[in-house]
Amino acid sequence: TPQAPLTAIPAAARSRWSELVRMIEQARDAYYNAVESQSPVSDAHYDRLYRELEELEAAHPALARQDSPTRSVGGRATTDFAPAPHHERMYSLQDVFSIEEVQDWATRMAVETGVPDDEAAMTAEVKIDGLAIALTYEHGALTRAATRGDGTTGEDVTGNVRTIASVPLILAGQDHPELLEVRGEVYFPTAAFHEFNEARRTENLARQAAGSPLLQVFANPRNAAAGSLRQKDPAITASRPLAMIAHGVGAIRPAPGWQPPALQHEWYELLEAWGLPVSPYNAVVRGSAQRQAYIARYAEHRHDLLHEIDGIVFKLDDRAAQRALGATSRVPRWAAAYKYPPEEVHTRLLDIDVQV
Ligand code: NAD
């Protein structure tokens, strides 16, 4: 369909678009690539800017250009690490912010697949607040680890990821594909994060007394995970208690005669059998009551988990249905990420803490 010329769009909408895009790009750079700094805006604020941009583009479709943040996966490759072209595209997730939007998505899935909502199996997973990672295993040996980057090309962080104890360098079990791309999240365990910051605060007292430069106290575990993984010196990464959880697969080149699992949850069982950590919180649910119960459960226990979470992810369990549905330029259609309402007060307290 021919696009309306940009000049037909009201000047106010055009300048707001530029403003939003610039703010979002700046926040993304700080969020994904920061080593010892943090994003200028909170996640909730970022989400509001992003929603506003989506609405602006819905009202003026010509603004939804190919280079818009609404069409792309955040995070640019920097020159600090070698580029790592992904074997298969890495996507983000479609965010939804209410139970109604989860239901709208599930109803759409039922229409698209022909399987009624209360019969369709979905995996229910916590959304780990860490850093996306793609691990390439060739004949069962880890050959590369890459960040998500723009989804097409990430950064080669193999040396750093090899220091993470929960990432197997060689898979357990047998029948490994010739090539397997495991997708997961690198995170900083919450308890270790608090200990780490506490130790830094103590160290800073001594430094202050001696007049030497102070160490960065991290704003949150995600920020600490990103900063620790993107070190130029793997020895520093090794000194941080990072961990990894696998939550998907990308490219697969199977050994001859081998059949991959037909269901998402069976993949998790297989990855676990191969020695890869999968989430202890994963479940299979059917229908809206079970989805809501899962959301409510982790809303209540959100701060009792091994790591921080910022929401819940639902995925169609049927891999054939996933393939049939495919993806947009940014997100798979067969998954949705419900975001918990922001905990503003908590974040602000932390921000003050950092500045003291
Ligand atoms: P996202 O973080 O909302 O979701 C996509 C990612 O979730 C995937 O790449 C995957 O790595 C991860 N994930 C965690 N658990 C998962 C699971 N169980 N299954 C599948 N994937 C799982 O998307 P995004 O595009 O990386 O970032 C957007 C979000 O990041 C925003 O909504 C905002 O909250 C935050 N953000 C904040 C700033 C800021 O400046 N504060 C900037 C950019 C992004």
The reply to whether 266 and 330 lie within a common domain is yes
Q: Active site residue: 127, 232, 315, 339, which one?
A: 127
The reply to whether 294 and 177 lie within a common domain is yes
- Measured in angstroms, how far is the CA atom of residue 222 from the centroid of ligand 1? 10
Give percent of the chain above pLDDT 90.
Answer: 81
Judged against a pLDDT cut of 80, whether residue 34 lies above it is answered with no
Q: Between the ranges 39-53, 73-87, 126-140, where is the mean pLDDT highest?
A: 126-140
Closest by CA to 119, choosing from 320, 321, 287, 314, is 287
- Give the confidence band of 196 by pLDDT, cuts at 50, 70, 90: very high
Q: Is 232 a catalytic residue?
A: no
Judged against a pLDDT cut of 50, whether residue 352 lies above it is answered with no
334 CB less than 6 Å from ligand 1?
A: no
**125 within some domain:** yes
282 CB less than 6 Å from ligand 1?
A: no
Pocket test for ligand 1, best of 31, 148, 302, 344 (most atoms within 8 A of CB): 31
The reply to whether 61 and 179 lie within a common domain is no
Spatial separation of the C-alpha atoms in residues 263 and 285, rounded to whole Å: 13
**206 within some domain:** no
Spatial separation of the C-alpha atoms in residues 354 and 217, rounded to whole Å: 6
CATH number of the CATH domain containing 10: 1.10.287.610
| C-beta neighbour count of 305 within 10 angstroms | 16
Alpha helices in the chain (DSSP H): 11-33, 43-59, 99-113, 158-161, 190-210, 221-229, 234-238, 264-273, 287-300, 319-325, 344-355
The reply to whether 116 and 233 lie within a common domain is yes
Structurally, how many domains does the chain consist of? 2
Domain endpoint, select from 39, 71, 103 = 71
- Position 214 scores a pLDDT of 93
**198 within some domain:** no
Q: What residue's CA is closest to ligand 1, atom 32? A: 47
CATH number of the CATH domain containing 174: 3.30.470.30
Please provide the average confidence, as pLDDT, over all residues in the chain.
92
**86 within some domain:** no
Rg of the Cα trace of the chain?
21
Give percent of the chain above pLDDT 70.
Answer: 95
Judged against a pLDDT cut of 50, whether residue 1 lies above it is answered with no
Average pLDDT over residues 170-175: 93
Closest by CA to 54, choosing from 96, 111, 108, 1, is 96
Q: What is the ipTM of this complex?
A: 0.96
- Give the confidence band of 72 by pLDDT, cuts at 50, 70, 90: confident
The reply to whether 63 and 178 lie within a common domain is no
- Measured in angstroms, how far is the CA atom of residue 112 from the centroid of ligand 1? 25
The reply to whether 65 and 106 lie within a common domain is no
pLDDT tens digits for range 199-249: 999 999 999 999 999 998 998 999 999 999 999 899 999 999 999 999 999
54 CB less than 6 Å from ligand 1?
A: no
Range of the domain at 49: 6-71
